[in-house]
Amino acid sequence: GAVVSQHPSRVICKSGTSVKIECRSLDFQATTMFWYRQFPKQSLMLMATSNEGSKATYEQGVEKDKFLINHASLTLSTLTVTSAHPEDSSFYICSARRQGSYEQYFGPGTRLTVT
């Protein structure tokens, strides 16, 4: 199988602080990882595409200085929400594309609550 993990599964932070979310492909190498955000009762919205060893590509309307993405290895991408505000509270989901394939495998998501 192709397993993707996320850590933490849920996090609560205070407004103004930063929080880092990790996305790992456990049993395959992923040259590309994707970060999505999902608000309650809504669909998944792509935030950015992360390519190993290069800068992430952000979707329109997503602030790259606020949502820092690092894809330093073929099995790990991180999303750091900087200076978090209550409106950043959401469900963040990553997916990983296996090297040489078009298929994406999704992680279990991280629930972020900013108080």
- Could you list the residues that contact another protein (CB under 8 A)? 4, 6, 34, 42-46, 49, 59-61, 91, 93, 95, 97, 102-109, 111
Residue 56 and residue 50 in contact, taking contact as beta carbons nearer than 8 Å:
yes
Least distance (Å) between residue 1 CB and another protein: 11
Question: Which residues, including other chains, have CB under 8 Å from residue 77's CB and lie 6 or more apart?
Answer: 22, 23, 30, 33, 35, 50, 69, 70, 71, 94, 96
Please tell me the distance from the alpha carbon of residue 30 to that of residue 27, in angstroms, as a whole number: 10
> From the CB of 34, what's the least distance to another protein, in Å?
7
Q: Which is nearer to another protein, 38 or 80 (CB)?
A: 38
Pair type for strands 10-13 and 110-114 = parallel
Give 17 or 101: the residue with its C-beta nearer to another protein.
101
8 or 108, CB closer to another protein? 108
- Minimum distance from CB of 72 to another protein (Å)? 21
